[in-house]
Chains A and B, each alone.
Chain A
Amino acid sequence: MHPGRQLGVLGLVFVVLYLCVFFAAGAEGSWKQRLEPKLGLDLIGGTQATYIASQQGAPPRPEDMELAREIIQSRVDALGVSEAEVVIQGNNTIVVSLAGKADEQLKGLEQAANMRFRLVTGVTGDVSSVALNPPSPAPSASASGSAAPSPSAGASSAPAPKAEDAKPSATPSTGGQGGGAAAPSPSATPSATPSPAASAAAPAPVSADIEEQRAAIKKKVGADAWAAAEKLTAPVDLSADPKAGLPFKAFAELSGTEVAALSPQMQFNVPTISCEQLNARPNGSIDGVDSEVVACQDGVYKVMLDKAEVVGDDIDEASPQLDTQQNQWVVSLDFKSEGQKKWTALTKKAYEAGPSDPCYVAVTSMYADADHCAVAVVLDKEIISAPQIQGVLTGQSQITGDFNGASAKKLADQLNFGAIPVTFDAGPAQTVSATVGDQQLQAGLLAAAIGLGLVAVYAFFYYRLLGLVIFLSLGLSALLTFGALVFLGRSIGFTLTLAGIVGFIVSLGVAADSFVIYFERLKDEIHEGRSPRSAVPRAWQRAKRTIISANAITIMCAVVLYIVSIGQVQGLAFALGLSTMLDLLVVFLFRHPIMSLLASTPAFMSPRVSGLGRALRRGQTEESGSSRVKEA
């Protein structure tokens, strides 16, 4: 390729990079602001969030805290190449610090990410508002069940039109319990609630602590209301008697923590307990694998869920995927072999459930034309989705839900990194100042200047004019690196730390190194008596091979470390790879063409101008010297 063309390509790279710096990836503000790289926590400080672990009174075990720390670290690292700091403070607090303003990124980091797959065994509408303010008698149903008042009446009286239950199920007031009451099975009541046996067994394994809380709640709501609530075996049917909710009025005043202390049956059956209250329960309150729980679906249904047959630990790998047919994001799951068995068993149970199964009855009040049971995918307190199981699933499965690309990735990451064994409460995010401070930053930059100066002096001393080529290409490398830093800082969150600065200083030396390889080669060639014109391409051919193999190793090192490692090591690997690539770019597109151009100028060979001249001169004197020897 013609030297001019190579320089042209380099110019193009340069222009494109700086156009990106100034105009792409959310560049805004003044010219100066657009030129600011994203600096790391150690250089400019950032945002700090505190998460306090709560594990029912007792302080969490140290090994749980360490595991939690590592999981949170992985989650932070998954946000991008920004070197975050995650430490445990005292015995129950985790402090996360991120560079810059990062309130958004710090949100939800502490989420436990306990994934549970539970059979849906009961569904009822969140009727709390109706229960508290019962509409005046007759037309009331139509007022609340605005969409379809007639099916609601049908549901509560006639058992037949099940298929048309779709509408009522969507409107809270008439919802699921209409369907439940209308179930054709003889056991009308247990169809909605799991089973009487379960509700009888539930109170048994309750801790003394919970017992105490329940006693307090009993006092708060009144003994009558409590007794009435305890007697419920199915959700109170407000469509039959709109005023039936009134005795439970006091339950609406309970806090989330108090609601969590109630038995699942009570949470489900008492009509005045709202989804809002259920969602306000403390983190981790429905994580119990071996207990039934109540959760909210879309803020509309209260859903009774069976024991968790499959949990997050059974998942081998989760990955976000774009379902191109539906054009929506899903999270695709691969189960571990043991987990796959459990998952297959669960889906089989859901798929093969007959119309008399409680889960079947439940699902029909959620989905109009349901003919198989639903399995709820529960993450912490939230039902992500509760799909009907359309077959016995023996392979990869997908979670659908209201995902976008980012949230699908987040969930997949959470599943992959595992669940945090303790539950956290997030404290406020605060700003923190730099850890290293100005002094070290300035010293680092000073060191860079000194280093560059020394290299330049050495190069000029040793290679004379060629030193100028070295100096220019180092300057060019520095500009390209800086541009890449600014652009990558904005686009993928690459942050520059003091360690990074030192890394780039080192790469200056390594970049200069590839020049030395080339020039020494050139010297050899000229020494052998070649003219500069023929020596330059020959030396280039040979040096190219060496430079490429040597740089290939550095790039390999960077790529492996980037993929495998986490935290700051990953940042280092990125910087290393970046600077090596840029070095190669400059070597191929700047130095080689410049040398080709220089080789054709007569001044190039003058000993005073290029360090190569000495090799040339020595070669000549040797020539004469040796011929003398020969003569002798």
Chain B
Amino acid sequence: MARPGFATRLYQGEANLNIVGRRKMWFTIAAALVAIAIGSFAINRFHLGIEFAGGSEFSVPAQVDGKTFEQSEIQQAVETAVHGVDPEAQVNAAQQVGDGTDANYKIRTSELSATEMAEAKTALAEDLGIEVTAISDQQVSSAWGGAVIDKAMLGLVIFLVLVSAYLVVRFEWRMAVAALTSLLFDLIFTAGVYSLVQFELTPYTVIGFLTILGYSLYDVVVVFDKVQENTRGITASNTRTYAEATNLAVNQTLMRSLNTGLVALLPVGGVLFIGAGLLGAGTLKDLGLVLFVGMGVGVISSILFAAPVLSWLKDRDPKIKAHNARVLARRAQQSNDVARGERSRSAGATEGDEVSVLAGTSTPRPGARTTQKRGGANRPGTKRR
């Protein structure tokens, strides 16, 4: 029988990618990324937006010398004037304050020095055809003081403690550690991207960042749920090592992970596309970007990082260690039998991968199936109920 295409195997949860077996590679990649991110924190730091760093504010009357200005007009003029002195400067959207003849337009920009400010004001006044004195400027503080961030970080810490407790109760401590490690990786990676590319850090970035928290763990929990199911009572049989069972779970949930990743990223992609593509800078771009990066890495790390970390931790558990040794011993003994069925492995597959097929899976591959039909002698203890 012809081997089904990769897409179909993926669909069936039988892609049999050797993910956990290559954990050294994933760890190396992850460590490198974290090192780069941390290096970037130290060197580049973050590019803080007006809301964090404070800035300058222009105030232009809506009506002066018999002239009336539209908001868009002022916005345009200020942008031109400010970018004339500092092309890098950020200019926020104009706001109208007050009504009627008292109305003012206020526009915040990133901080300008006194001379820059004076130049910008002169240019602006010229552009609008009004007196320089009609335009006032002021320094504004950050709207997001240290307290907001401090409290958010406190919340983060409390959440991590609670969620660890929850994961320990719901799963076990090794899974909790693996899940949190993966979460930390996601957060550091996302922050690293921001620091490295020098995207501007706005309140919306922080909000998006906190949203990733739940989502990242959500992915990991789904994978671990399957791992737990597959490895329940694993020591009772001698068919699979823990790493193999984990790899199987990852493969089985692979389609789900990709699906959910895609489904969750589609709307975010829409936001990012609209925000960055059509509107340029602004809230939508800020949010879309951080969510896209964070959720994307969340999906990937739940597969490539969390599960390998878990198997690595588990292999240090004496019970599992003994079990793995038993499985390997048994396998060596039976190596003769290995002739039957199913030899069409791809070249790069490791022994562990191969054996996981031999030992049977809950959604077994073609050819292996007959030996573990329900009730078959070789049925793994993991398949309950």
Contact = CB atoms under 8 A, between A and B. Distances in A.
B177 interface: no
B210 A524 contact: no
A603 to B, nearest CB: 21
Contacts of B12: 527, 615, 618
Interface in B1-52: 1, 4, 8, 11-13
A223 B378 CA distance: 113
Interface in B329-385: 341, 362-363, 366-367, 369-370, 374, 385
B139 A569 contact: no
A413 to B, nearest CB: 15
B369 A626 contact: yes
A443 B274 contact: yes
B259 A550 contact: no
Interface stretch (A160-168, A327-335, A348-356, A559-567): A559-567
B260 A513 contact: yes
A622 interface: yes
Contacts of B262: 458
A528 B143 CA distance: 57
B278 interface: yes
Contacts of A136: none
A498 interface: yes
B141 A89 contact: yes
A239 B117 CA distance: 67
Contacts of B141: 65-66, 69, 87-89
B275 interface: yes
Nearest to B279: A443
A439 interface: yes
Nearest to A580: B214
A83 to B, nearest CB: 9
B221 interface: yes
B142 A516 contact: no
B214 A509 contact: no
A579 B151 CA distance: 23
Contact of A553 (B214, B256, B288, B385): B214
B279 A431 contact: no
Contact of B283 (A436, A451, A560): A436
B147 interface: yes
B110 to A, nearest CB: 14
A572 B211 contact: yes
Contacts of B274: 443-444, 446-447, 450
Interface in B111-157: 138-145, 147-148, 151-152, 154-156
A618 B8 contact: yes
B158 interface: yes
A505 B295 CA distance: 14
B61 to A, nearest CB: 14
Interface string B213-237: 1110110011001000100000000
Interface stretch (B96-104, B187-195, B240-248, B310-318): B96-104
Q: Chain B interface mostly helix, strand, loop or mixed?
A: helix
Contacts of A551: 218
Interface stretch (B76-84, B265-273, B320-328): B265-273
A231 interface: no
A13 B206 CA distance: 34
A626 B369 CA distance: 7
Contacts of A436: 93, 282-283
Nearest to B229: A542
A556 B210 CA distance: 13
A545 B171 CA distance: 12
Contacts of A564: 151-152, 154-155, 158
B136 to A, nearest CB: 10
Nearest to B106: A432
A450 B163 CA distance: 34
A572 B267 contact: no
Interface residues of A, number: 95
B83 to A, nearest CB: 19
B71 interface: yes
Interface in A508-533: 508-510, 512-513, 516-517, 520, 523-524, 527-528
B260 A517 contact: yes
B274 to A, nearest CB: 4
A618 B211 CA distance: 39
Contact of A450 (B208, B256, B270): B270
Contacts of B197: none
Contact of B139 (A90, A566, A572, A626): A90
B54 to A, nearest CB: 8
A19 interface: no
B362 A524 contact: yes
Contacts of B252: 524
A599 interface: no
Contact of A89 (B138, B206, B256, B260): B138
B303 to A, nearest CB: 14
A625 B366 contact: yes
A37 B259 CA distance: 33
B159 A89 contact: no
Nearest to A88: B141
B367 to A, nearest CB: 5
A506 B71 contact: no
A622 B95 contact: no
Contact of B263 (A435, A513, A623): A513
Given A66-B145, A87-B140, A569 B210 contact: yes
A447 B166 contact: no
A444 B162 CA distance: 34
Interface string A32-68: 0000000000100100100000000000000001100
A452 interface: yes
B255 interface: yes
B64 interface: no
Nearest to B367: A629
Contacts of B264: 506, 509-510, 512-513
A448 B93 contact: no
A289 interface: no
B300 interface: no
A572 B151 CA distance: 14
B184 interface: no
Given A431-B97, A447-B284, A553 B166 contact: yes
B207 A443 contact: no
Contact of B211 (A73, A455, A576, A625): A576
A430 interface: yes
Interface string A537-556: 01000100110011111101
B263 A561 contact: no
B291 interface: yes
Contact of B270 (A48, A91, A454, A458): A454
B201 to A, nearest CB: 14
B69 interface: no
Contacts of B4: 618
Contacts of B221: 546, 549-550, 553
B265 to A, nearest CB: 7
A65 to B, nearest CB: 8
Interface string A150-161: 000000000000
15 contacts: A86-B143, A450-B270, A499-B203, A499-B207, A502-B288, A505-B271, A506-B264, A506-B291, A509-B267, A512-B260, A520-B256, A527-B12, A556-B163, A565-B155, A569-B148
The 3 A-B residue pairs with the shortest CB-CB distance in the complex, in nearest-first order: A451-B267, A509-B264, A88-B141
Given A66-B141, A503-B211, A524-B362, 17 more contacts: A431-B98, A451-B271, A499-B203, A520-B13, A523-B13, A549-B170, A553-B214, A554-B214, A563-B155, A564-B152, A564-B155, A565-B154, A567-B148, A576-B214, A618-B12, A626-B370, A628-B1
Interface of A: 42, 45, 48, 65-66, 69-70, 73-74, 85-91, 95, 430-437, 439-440, 443-444, 446-448, 450-452, 454-455, 458-459, 462, 498-499, 502-503, 505-506, 508-510, 512-513, 516-517, 520, 523-524, 527-528, 538, 542, 545-546, 549-554, 556-558, 560-561, 563-569, 572-573, 576, 580, 614-615, 618, 622-623, 625-630
